[in-house]
Amino acid sequence: MHQASVHRVVIVGGGFGGLQAAQALRRANVDITLLDRRNFHLFQPLTYQVATGALSPGEIAYPLRAIFERARNIRVLMAEVTDFDLEARELHLRSVDGVPAPASISYDTLIVSGGSRYSFFGHDEWAEFAEEVKSLESALLARSRILSAFEAAEMEPDPQRREAWLTFAVVGGGPTGVEMAGQIAELARDTLRQDFRSIDPRTGRILLIEATDRVLTSFPPSLSGKAQRSLERLGVTPLLGRTVIGVDADGVTVDDGGGRPERIPTRTVIWAAGVTASPLAAKLAERSGAELDRAGRVTVEPDLTLVGHPEVFALGDMIRVRGSDGVVRVLPGVAPAAMQEGRYAAKAVRARLRGEGPPPFRYRDKGNLATIGRAAAVADIRGLRLSGFIAWVTWLLVHLFYLVGFQNRIVVFIRWSFSFATHGRGARLITEEDGIAPRHLAGGEPRP
């Protein structure tokens, strides 16, 4: 039962930050409402495996209600938050998918972890022609686009057009871009190599376009070099020092810095560059007067609360944190940062209920991991630099450990073991009708 006298905590976002906050408060004497516009927690680090047919959606997403089925003080609500009334301590809500939602909800403490999304460097029109793998829906769309490109190439008699179908441009050489490029290369060179009769998928070109002079810039240069060599061995061509200046239905245009635009004909573009914070960050900044940076992140105080509103915490990808020294810092946009912040917010709520003040938040860097492909990864764990098979095993174990849901861990482990042994990918399905947009069909004709 929800009692009006109990301290009401509303948590926005069942992603990495929000989930940890809710889990750390499940035994506290507080009444929690966990709000998300989706009914599941998504393990974003593995969405690229859904996009390339290695895993199925249900293996990397877990229903929020199931996670908290035994936590009697937690109520899960599927709704979209549209605005905040910080003075009245209320959230404004909108219904999702026709599911009725209350117009507003009140709180004593508010914790917001709305995440981020990809940005197209001010060119939102590119989004129509480039897929990304941030959400489950977009990963499924990317999967359909990638697989339908091979299908279209098989049917295409014109060699130039066939080549465009068999060219895959991944934009952004960070961990997601590297992982996507590596997986598409494995799909083309390994998984699909015997599946077609008119084309040889191994002739496909997988381009990784990166504006700086190396991939994985958040890693030490030596590991970037190793990652690049692993990618090249897989058949990926890194195009470094190239800035994307155009994306349309027939290709990508890049600038090599010398002012000479280079045109790359391709029908499949995967976007993995630049992120911008959830619009909820801008709303919080507007309502509280807190600063907002160019990436849309709201600045929070050393205890992760909004300036002038100690009852409002903001976490994860959507924030910058002011240190005790007054300097504002951007923490890495990774799951461990959001999780640590979620646990901190929960601890702060408990401390306040005891009448104590929490110490400032301190981020503990647990290191960096990125996988490139089969038995290839790089890891930088507090100065310990690993690459190859051992880094890959570390990557596997860490991801299995953090994957939510006992059943999911077992299924993913079995899937990975099976794929490793057979070189197969069980989820190579073109499922989404919308996934095959007219521009993806040979000759650009709409599908009947």
Ligand X SMILES: Cc1cc2nc3c(=O)[nH]c(=O)nc-3n(C[C@H](O)[C@H](O)[C@H](O)COP(=O)(O)OP(=O)(O)OC[C@H]3O[C@@H](n4cnc5c(N)ncnc54)[C@H](O)[C@@H]3O)c2cc1C
Q: How far apart are CA 366 and CA 266, in angstroms?
A: 38
Between residues 165 and 168, which has the closer beta carbon with respect to ligand X?
A: 168
Output the smallest distance, CB 82 to ligand X, in A: 7
Output the smallest distance, CB 355 to ligand X, in A: 29
Token output for 19: 């989930």
Q: How far apart are CA 214 and CA 311, in angstroms?
A: 43
Comparing C-alpha atoms, which of 66, 53, 51 is closest to residue 192? 53
Q: Please give the residue whose beta carbon sits closest to ligand X in the complex.
A: 15
Token output for 38: 């989706």
Q: Which is it for strands 251-255 and 61-63: parallel, antiparallel or unpaired? A: unpaired
Q: How far apart are CA 429 and CA 139, in angstroms?
A: 12
Between residues 28 and 398, which has the closer beta carbon with respect to ligand X?
A: 398
Output the smallest distance, CB 154 to ligand X, in A: 29
53 and 143 Cβ atoms separated by less than 8 Å: yes
Active-site residue among 156, 179, 210, 341?
179
Which backbone phi and psi does 204 adopt, to 5 degrees?
A: -60, 145
Q: How many CB atoms lie within 10 A of CB 128?
A: 12
Q: How far apart are CA 305 and CA 322, in angstroms?
A: 10
Say whether 179 is catalytic.
yes
Between residues 134 and 309, which has the closer beta carbon with respect to ligand X?
A: 134
The angle at the Cα of 406, spanning 404 to 411, to the nearest 5 degrees, equals: 95
Between residues 166 and 403, which has the closer beta carbon with respect to ligand X?
A: 403
Burial class (CB in 10 A: 0-12, 13-18, 19+), 391: buried
Output the smallest distance, CB 445 to ligand X, in A: 32
Output the smallest distance, CB 338 to ligand X, in A: 3
Between residues 182 and 336, which has the closer beta carbon with respect to ligand X?
A: 336
Comparing C-alpha atoms, which of 264, 178, 255, 188 is closest to residue 223? 178
Between residues 175 and 251, which has the closer beta carbon with respect to ligand X?
A: 175
Which backbone phi and psi does 43 adopt, to 5 degrees?
A: -90, 85
Region of 252 (left: φ > 0; alpha: ψ -120 to 50; beta: rest) is beta
What are the strands of the beta sheet with 368-373, ordered from one edge?
368-373, 376-381, 384-387
Applying CB under 6 A, the residues found at the interface with ligand X are 12-18, 35-38, 44-45, 47-48, 80-81, 113-115, 133-134, 175-176, 278, 280, 316-317, 333-336, 338
Between residues 35 and 386, which has the closer beta carbon with respect to ligand X?
A: 35
CA atoms within 13 A on the CB side of 430: 15
Output the smallest distance, CB 333 to ligand X, in A: 5
Q: How far apart are CA 23 and CA 21, in angstroms?
A: 6
Output the smallest distance, CB 51 to ligand X, in A: 9
Residues involved in catalysis: 179
